[in-house]
Amino acid sequence: MGSVTDERKALTSLEHCRPERTGRTAEILIEAMLQKLGARMQRQFPLCHSIYGTVLKVDFLIENAVAFPDGLVIESKWQQTSGTADEKFPYLVLNIRERFPCPAIIVTGGGQTRPDDDGGARPGAYAWLRKHVGGNLINVLTVEQLMGWMARQTFDPNGVRRQVMRPDWRGLDGDR
């Protein structure tokens, strides 16, 4: 696994990437950090039906965090330049609150110089997300904040999450 210096280089390099590559780079950085900490995870996991009735896949489902026996979802939302990513925030929050069977953290970033900066998102977008923390949405963090938060978590190498999928998820749209 990469060193802290490699992780800092990856984070710094995010400033110079195109938006779609930048979001993927952020996910790679998050995945590397989780692996280094001993988190067992699944990527693009079909967690539940969305509010629209379609299968909803999440960026990361952590299966062995001791404090979250039902699993913990991490969703990465990166917006370095103006675009439409922040327009999807209400959809994400509503799904987390109404459909997710386990807690979730949204990781934000992209052009932010401090946690209260909206970077490439519309003014107030990240503040709106933070205002909606509650229920299954347990936190909204930057990548840097996530690193500190996750470092304080305990991961059981033999731990297995309880069943977190809703019983009605199979068979929708031919997905698993």
- b/e per residue 109-142 (b: at least 16 CB within 10 A): bbbbeeeeebbbbbeebbebbbebeeebbbebbb
Residues 49-103: tens digit of each pLDDT: 999 999 999 999 999 999 999 999 999 987 655 567 778 899 999 999 999 999 9
pTM of this structure: 0.78
Domains of the chain: 4-171 (3.40.91)
Q: In the prediction, which pLDDT does 176 show?
A: 42
